[in-house]
Amino acid sequence: ADEALQLFGAYGTTDEFLIQKLYRDARVKLIEDGTTEVLSLEGAGDLIRNY
């Protein structure tokens, strides 16, 4: 999503283009699920416990 927004530049932040909604929704989903680092740590912990 970040790369797509960079390709669109300033147009990616206006309501005129679908990319703005897609980027916004993707960012909300990341916040909702947790940061990549936290999810990685949780996954690593699960692997260690199951090993």
As separate numbers, helices (DSSP H) first and strands (DSSP E) second, the chain gives 3, 0
Q: How far apart are CA 33 and CA 4, in angstroms?
A: 21
CB atoms closer than 10 angstroms to residue 13: 14
Whole-model pTM over 0.75: no
Q: Which residues contact 44 (CB under 8 A, 6 or more apart)?
A: none
Q: What is the pLDDT of residues 1-51, one digit of tens each?
A: 667 667 777 666 677 777 777 777 877 776 666 666 777 777 777 778 876
Q: What angle do CA 6, 19, 37 make, to 5 degrees?
A: 65
Determine the pLDDT at residue 32.
65
